[in-house]
A and B are shown apart, each in its own frame.
Chain A
Amino acid sequence: MRDLGSLRHEKGAILRTQTITDERTLIEFLESKARRIRWDIIKMIGLARSGHPGGSLSAADIVATLYFHELRHKAEEPDWPERDRFVLSKGHAAPVLYAALAESGYIDREDLWTLRKIDSHLQGHPDMRKTPGVELSTGSLGMGFSASVGMALGLKIDRKESRVYVLLGDGESQEGIVWEASMFASQHGLDNLVGILDYNNMQIDGLVSEIVDIQPAAAKWTAFGWHVIEIDGHKFDEIMGAFREARSVKSKPSMIIAKTVKGKGVSFMEGIVDFHGKAPSAEEMEKALAEIEASGPLG
């Protein structure tokens, strides 16, 4: 029996997975959470009639694993000083974060259907001053990653156990500040920092590999002084394993390079560049929701 990670959670933190003792059940549990997150992503973007479904869906399994397994956090106390931090540096994937926050209990599920509306606290890109549970206002690419390095440094100064998890896009990795920040993080041995690269190889204008390729990504991050873990970003055992491995790494930040599929979980969106920043039509929304519902129970 492998250490499921959740057992390290402190008393009072979210302990949703603590009672699950076998990995098969745990994975089924996380699959149902990811399905719920995907269903919410489609519904909220469909109702908003704008947003970024592709990169929200590609990150759904990673974000589900973070919120329902890896992170130490308390929805009833969003400012709990000992919490782990999750920063969505690729802020345009806001719907995946909002869905996880709703499912965790930070915000009401009904609020999700107000996404991008004038009186909603759910902005097009995450706003930490408007939405409980959002650790950092992001949207301008690269900056969330750099600020996460600052957060990890701040927690180290205070000798806190808390860890910082930051989700980075592959197109986002073209920003120079990412590499400035990566050098600082390894220089200062920030082993409380975990980056996750949502590597779906698509950006607004096309394939990352055809626009400005970030390959060889693993060699780059290794050369910049990071511990690199390469996984399939849709396999829960690999995602959990990567987080576990990152926790054991000392004196270095870790970068989990997660190979993902843009639009994952909705057949007609998978691998379609245009769904980077295009909302599904009403008809497409219904079709997508039905497909997700048919794939298994919703968490």
Chain B
Amino acid sequence: MAEKRATREAYGEALVELGHEYPNLVVLEADLAKSTTTIKFKKEFPDRFFDCGVAEQNMMAMAAGLAATGKICYTGSFAIFATGRAFEQIRNTISYPRFNVKICPTHAGITVGADGASHQTFEDIALMRVIPGMTVISPADFYEAKKAIKKAAEIDGPVFVRLGRAAVPTIFDDSYEFVPGKAIKLQEGSDVTLFATGVMVEACLQAASNLKEQGVNAEVFNISTIKPLDEKAIIESVMKTGRAVVAEEHSIIGGLGSAIAELLSSECPVPLARVGIRDLFGRSGEPEELMRYYGLTHIDISQAVKIIMDRSQRPK
């Protein structure tokens, strides 16, 4: 059984390390320091931590003002509030002037669990991806999350890093090096390419292993940087396999599935299936129950592969 750790745990740890490295780094939180783990930074650097209270819009616009005075500003809160409620602050006051603000909210996706629909978000990648100049990163596990959060400090401009609440299996380890903008090939294959992001990377690896037993050779990619998208690697793989399945813990509208469909439909049209939340709101439940309920398991990925393989073998 693989080690399980939540990607949100990486946030506080990475911030403490960054705090030592960058004296001009400040952290803003919106009353969720314990949940997002930014409290670790608060304990180490109380003079550079500011709790804005339950006021996410003010947190984001203030982050822009802090960046205007030369600070690197990391922000907290949950993904639904950070990217949803404060969307326009991120768009107009952070991104339009290209401010050095890092948006790393936790509790993205369905794995939020029992809190239910109001606190789950499947729209955050779509919202951030559409903003010009925004870097969008969705790490696959704790280790990638930690490296991505730290790497964000080196990127001059706004960066979104999507983090989750639930403990999820780890794929990488401490030696992993995160390169922004690079698609990571985890497994070679020839029949279909599985593109995954976040917690779905692990599900795709499992699906690929099951498919192998059935004689299907799947190539697996971790697309942790959703914007800018590694177009070259994606096109190259699909030119070879001729089929694509995209899996994400996000709406099938506007997320990674959309990004890859947009790319391939113009550059290299192939049969493609999207595994994700099918234009629905969430509900309460345990994370694993919810993943099954909304069709986000390795079984759903394998089924999607079979459907497009049948489709692509059908005579024209």
Question: Which residues does A use to contact B, with CB under 8 Å?
Answer: 127-129, 135-137, 139-140, 142-144, 146-155, 157-158, 176-177, 180-181, 183-184, 188
Contact = CB atoms under 8 A, between A and B. Distances in A.
Contacts of A176: 57
Contact of A137 (B26, B52, B66, B96): B96
19 contacts: A127-B97, A128-B97, A136-B65, A140-B92, A140-B93, A143-B92, A146-B58, A146-B62, A150-B68, A150-B69, A150-B73, A151-B65, A153-B62, A157-B47, A157-B71, A177-B57, A180-B55, A180-B57, A184-B52
Interface string B214-243: 000000000000000000000000000000
Given A151-B69, A154-B71, A177-B57, A137 B97 contact: yes
A128 B70 CA distance: 15
A149 B97 contact: no
Given A148-B65, A149-B58, A154-B69, 8 more contacts: A137-B97, A147-B62, A151-B65, A153-B65, A153-B66, A157-B69, A180-B52, A184-B52
Contacts of B98: 129
A181 B62 contact: yes
Instruction: Tell me which of B48, B57, B67 has the highest count of chain A C-beta atoms within 10 A of its own C-beta.
Output: B57
B46 interface: no
Given A129-B98, A140-B93, A177 B58 contact: yes
Interface string B80-120: 00000000110011001110000000000000000000000
A132 to B, nearest CB: 14
Nearest to B71: A154
Pairs of residues from A and B, 10 with the lowest C-beta to C-beta distance, nearest first: A150-B65, A154-B69, A150-B62, A146-B61, A147-B65, A180-B58, A180-B55, A151-B65, A150-B66, A140-B92
B58 A154 contact: no
Contacts of B66: 150-151, 153-154
Contacts of A144: 93
Contacts of A129: 97-98
Contact of B69 (A142, A143, A155): A155
Output the residue of A127, A150, A151 with the most chain B CB within 10 A. A150
B10 interface: no
Given A139-B92, A154-B71, A177 B61 contact: yes
Contacts of A135: 68
Nearest to A146: B61
The number of chain B residues touching the other chain, given as a range, is 20 to 34
Contacts of B64: 136, 143, 147, 150
A97 B311 CA distance: 62
Contacts of B71: 154, 157
B50 interface: yes
Contacts, number: 100
B272 interface: no
A22 to B, nearest CB: 37
Contacts of B97: 127-129, 136-137
B246 interface: no
A148 B70 CA distance: 14
B77 to A, nearest CB: 13
B63 interface: yes
Nearest to B52: A184
Contacts of B47: 157
A152 B50 CA distance: 13
B53 interface: yes
Contact of A184 (B55, B93, B96): B55
B65 A184 contact: no
Nearest to A81: B70
A150 B53 contact: no
A143 B93 contact: yes
- In this complex, the member of B55, B62, B70, B73 whose beta carbon has the largest number of chain A beta carbons within 10 angstroms is B62
A150 B63 CA distance: 6
B68 A143 contact: no
A140 B90 CA distance: 12
A181 B58 contact: yes
Nearest to A177: B57
B98 to A, nearest CB: 7
Given A146-B58, A176-B57, A153 B93 contact: no
A137 B93 contact: yes
A129 B71 CA distance: 17
Contacts of B53: 180, 183-184
B57 A149 contact: no
A177 B58 CA distance: 6
Nearest to A139: B92
B24 to A, nearest CB: 9
A136 B97 CA distance: 8
A181 B61 contact: yes
Which of the listed residues A152, A153, A183 has the most CB atoms from chain B within 10 Å of its own CB? A153
Contact of A157 (B26, B62, B68, B88): B26
